[in-house]
Structure 1
Amino acid sequence: MSYTRRIVDLELDDLFGEVAALALDGPKAVGKTTTAEQRTDGLVKLDSKAVREPVSADPQIILRRPRPLLVDEWQKVPEVWDVVRRAVDENAAGGQFLLTGSASPQDGAVQHSGAGRIGRLRMRPMTIAERGLVTPTVSLAAVLAERDAIQGESTMGLPEYVEEIVASGFPGMRGLSSRARGFQLDSYLRNAVERDVPEQGLAVRRPEAMMAWLRAYASATSTTASYSQILDAATPGHSDKPARATAESYRQVLASLWLLDPVPAWTPTGSPMTRLGQAPKHHLADPALAARLLGLGADALLGGKGEPLRPQAGSMLGMLFESLVTLCVRVAAQAAEVDIAHLRTRNGDHEVDLVVVRPDGGVVGVEVKLAAAVSASDGKHLRWLRDQLGSRFVDGLIITTGPTAYRRRDGIAVVPLALFGP
């Protein structure tokens, strides 16, 4: 099958020819190895025992392979990181090593951070733009550069977005039937808890307790719920709740597997906004994982095409749609070399789902609306943000499920998610 380029390829195009070594970090099954293979000649697959054992005995052996060299699942033999770092010290020519990893190595396994020698890129599941459903017409890079190109028509509606939420952005799962895809997502989560977590050094005495915590985390998608609230939700009515330290160990190890992908709160410098919340907004690596953990398929979320949403599922659908939008925005933001965060005042009066921040302090605000049409009141938080920031406010976007991209009279842009791209 032909390779479908990913947004991270734009970054690799710019960087790998000049940077000697790059590491692609991200959860299993996002396509790191396939993407890296497009640019390398040599291959060391450390998830193979037959390959891993000799490399563990003599990590220097990897330097005998052809370059550009892909070291796949490098964290299985963390010593290769330092081998690559020292090789780059001796020869800093660009395009020599790509390392892929689906977990952060345990503390102390790597002697040196690799700063200045090994660059790091995060790779996430496929965005809507990468899935090839509709050709994007609104570029985040253009918005950041203040080039006004808000236009285009989308053929996607709410049923299609619901299907994309549950279809997942893991490339290998997208062609599967609904039943097979659900089976694979269940297996993915179960293997993460029962195999990957212990490999990270955390002994899980009760895997079902960690799965319950994951389900509670999924139910907090797109919220700033405290970790105490998540723990309570994971153990309703239980007198023998896991200790907070145990729950914190769950969070840390799942983050090390790149399965948790929270959005930090915005802490602007040189801004009159001082009373801002500090809690992160919770997201799993792929909204399909959250939907599966909660037992929500397309029918449960949508109630059938043309039928009203059930209240509880409808509320969760809005949170999952925001998570899908967040995935799409943060992948595009990384390619544009800008940061993202969320904004919420401490008293909850104002909330902006995402803020995209340029290095010069310019800000693009993003609000998410699970609707095909927006009302006059929609965007009030973006207008408030514009008033607060003045000239630092670059643009405001309301991302919807609607058909048309356009700019409103108040200056706020309305953009269907299907039309949003890097």
Structure 2
Amino acid sequence: MEKTIEKKLRSAGAVVLEGPKFCGKTTTALRYAESSIRLNTAQMIELAKMETKNVLNGKTPRVIDEWQTVPDIWNEVKGWIDENPAFGQFILTGSSTPADKSKIYHSGAGRIAKIKMRPMSLSESEDSTGIVSLGRLFTGDDVTVFHENRGVGLEKVAMLICRGGWPLAVAAGEDIALDVTKNYYEGLFNFEYSENEKFRNKKPELLRMILRSYARHISTQTPLKTILSDVESANNRTLDPKTLDEYLDALRDLFIIEEMEAWNPNLRSKAAVRTTPTRHFVDTSIATAVLGITPNDLMHDLNSFGLFFEDMVVRDLTIYAALLDGEVKHYRDSSGLECDAIIHLANGQWAAIEIKLGGERLLEEGVKNLTKLRKVVDESRMAFQMILTATGPSYRRPDGIYVVPIHCLTA
């Protein structure tokens, strides 16, 4: 993340660092600051609304924390950069989208660069050895792949899923890390005094009901009508689909849930690509917390374990892909063929990745899917294929498919 911020500060007048609460945005931004202001109290927000331009006064780079509470700050920053062109002047941090987007009058293109900050990947939390580099696999450079990877079992992976990548939880000992994450979740929907009407008017219990349904369908392409039905059953009353949409928008604006979009490649077959997005969380620990799931629960339900593991892997792949100027999507077509993750780079290269807990049966299932995929899509820009596992050794199969445990991977 630091490398990305440094690069953007050298190429844009201002950088917006956005992402969920508790992921370390402010702490990270302050490492680059010569001055800062925090808009985290009613008094500071009111003062900023009355004298918005004064918020910008101070040595640069200047951090403006929770800028989204006063959306006009965006316009003032854009205007300042127009009048005083220079790179790296401001870092705006925010844990939600702006309170009133209608008050933002300019896109900021060419002046303001956005970075989405997420909870830590296993590489960032030093829970991955980083032996296998996605970047090197894409460039074709010499890459170390084989590793015996002894000593990391499913119990450890279950713990990492429930702990999440929250910096304070990562820094805590294992005996209290889960409590740190639980405390974060329990305070997530305290909107009573929120400046943002979109959040203040939401019922916390309904948000939790929707989130519980979303968590039960994690890593699937479940249609929204199923989630609506789940919530209606739990609430014992009908729910307007528009209300569900509004609540889901609020969860997206808080950077809690995410939809992984479908990949649309050039097909050799007549199969149609299915476009329903895959339901994911910005961090899997939110899903386990909302359902009250512990590492021990995952160990006793391997089917659910696999879905939660897939969500955590997608979190890490999304972080790594962003560093490579890429994005992560999924593939599913009308013939039933699926691929859990496609990393697609801006230069057109792509890689297909199946996500499996491990074991011979699941590995062969992954190989079968990847082999089929090569037959139905244009593979001229394909860099590699991989099966990401929870345990076992890291190696390259005779057919060229890499088998890599997630705690051996890095960007």
The reply on whether 1:396 has 2:391 as its aligned counterpart is no
1:44 and 2:37 aligned: yes
1:35 equivalent in structure 2: 28
Query: How far apart, CA to CA, are the structure 1 residues paired with 2:357 and 2:3?
Result: 30
Deviations 1:351-371 (A, max 9, x none): 100001122322100110112
Q: 1:335 to 1:110 in 2, by over 3 A?
A: same
Deviation at 1:12, TM superposition (A): 1.8
AA in 2 matched with 1:408? R
Equivalence for 2:164: 168
Contiguous gaps of at least 5 residues in structure 2: none
Aligned partner of 1:415 among 392, 404, 407: 404
CA distance in 2 between partners of 1:216 and 1:371 (Å): 27
C-alpha spacing 1:153/1:110, structure 2 compared with 1 (3 Å) = farther
Aligned residues: 404
Alignment match, 1:359: 346
**CA pair 183-403 structure 1, distance change in 2 beyond 3 A:** closer
**Aligned residue in 2 for 1:228:** 225
Q: Which amino acid aligns with 1:193?
A: F
In structure 2, which of residues 18, 31, 48 is the aligned counterpart of residue 25 of structure 1? 18
Q: Which moved more, 1:63-72 or 1:270-279?
A: 270-279
Is 1:289 equivalent to 2:282 in the alignment?
Answer: no
* Aligned-partner SS, 2:305: helix
CA contact (8 A) 1:200 1:253 kept: no
State which of 327, 332, 356 in structure 2 corresponds to 1:369.
Answer: 356
* Deviates most, 270-279 or 372-381: 372-381
Moved more, 280-289 or 104-113: 104-113
Distance 1:287 1:377, change over 3 A: closer
Rounded Cα–Cα distance in structure 1 between residues aligned with 2:214 and 2:192: 18
Please give the TM-score of this superposition, normalised by the length of structure 2: 0.92
Q: For residue 339 of structure 2, what is the amino acid of its counterpart?
A: V
2:258 aligned partner, one-letter code: D
Partner SS state of residue 367, structure 1? strand
2:155 is aligned with 1:159: yes
Give the letter aligned to residue 337 of structure 1: D
- 2:75 is equivalent to residue 86 of structure 1: no
Taking the aligned partners of 1:51 and 1:70, their CA distance within structure 2 comes to 15
Structure 2 vs 1, CA of residues 86 and 152 (structure 1 numbering), >3 Å: closer, same or farther? farther
8 Å contact 1:182–1:292 — kept in the other structure?
Answer: no
Amino acid at match of 1:166: C
Q: How does 1:103-252 map to 2 (within 5 A)?
A: 103-105=96-98, 106-149=100-143, 150-154=145-149, 155-176=151-172, 181-195=177-191, 199-202=195-198, 204=201, 206-236=203-233, 240-252=237-249
Q: Quick one: distance in 2 between partners of 1:261 and 1:205?
A: 19
Aligned mates of 1:224, 1:197 — CA distance in 2: 35
| Contact 2:161/2:312 (8 A) holds in 1 | yes
> For 1:280-319, what aligned pairs fall within 5 Å after superposition?
280-302=277-299, 309=300, 313-319=301-307
Shift in CA distance, 242/179, structure 1 to aligned 2, threshold 3 Å = farther
Q: 1:212 to 1:182 in 2, by over 3 A?
A: farther
Contact 1:368 1:399 in 2 (8 A): yes
Map 1:61-72 to 2 at 5 A: 61-72=54-65
Q: Match for 1:318: what amino acid? A: G
What is the TM-score of this pair, normalised by structure 1?
Answer: 0.90
How big is the shift at 1:156?
Answer: 1.9
Gaps of 5+ in 1: 1-7, 303-308
Q: Residue 314 of structure 2 contacts residue 341 of structure 2 at CA under 8 Å; is this kept in 1?
A: yes
Superposition pairs for residues 327-338 of structure 1, below 5 Å? 327-338=315-326
Match of 1:4 in 2: none
Structure 1 residues 390, 177: closer, same or farther in 2, change over 3 A? closer
3-state secondary structure, aligned to 1:236: helix
Amino acid at match of 1:396: Q
1:341 is matched with 329
- Rounded to whole Å, the distance in 2 between the matches of 1:189 and 1:363 is 35
Is 148-157 or 78-87 further displaced after alignment? 148-157
State the secondary structure of the residue aligned to 1:282.
strand
Does the CA contact (< 8 Å) of 1:198 and 1:204 recur in 2?
no
Rounded Cα–Cα distance in structure 1 between residues aligned with 2:41 and 2:146: 48
Deviations 1:113-171 (A, max 9, x none): 21221000111111111111242111111122133522334342211110000111111
1:192-227 CA distances to partner (integer Å, 9 max, x unpaired)?
334189643235464322211110001111000011
CA distance in 2, matches of 1:167, 1:371: 21
Conserved? CA contact 2:11–2:88, under 8 Å: yes
What amino acid maps onto 1:400 in structure 2? T
Return the alpha-carbon distance in structure 2 between the equivalents of residues 246 and 315 of structure 1: 31
Q: Which amino acid aligns with 1:243?
A: D
**1:110–1:231 CA distance, 2 compared to 1 (3 A):** same
Asked if the contact 1:400–1:417 (Cα under 8 Å) also holds between the matched residues in 2, the reply is yes
2:191 counterpart SS class: helix
Instruction: Report the equivalent of 2:374.
Output: 386
- Percent identity reads 28
- For 1:151, the aligned partner's letter is F
1:363-410 Cα deviation digits (max 9, x unpaired): 100110112556444321112222322322211010012232111011
- Secondary structure of the residue aligned to 1:99 is strand
Root-mean-square deviation (Å): 2.2
Aligned to 1:59: 52
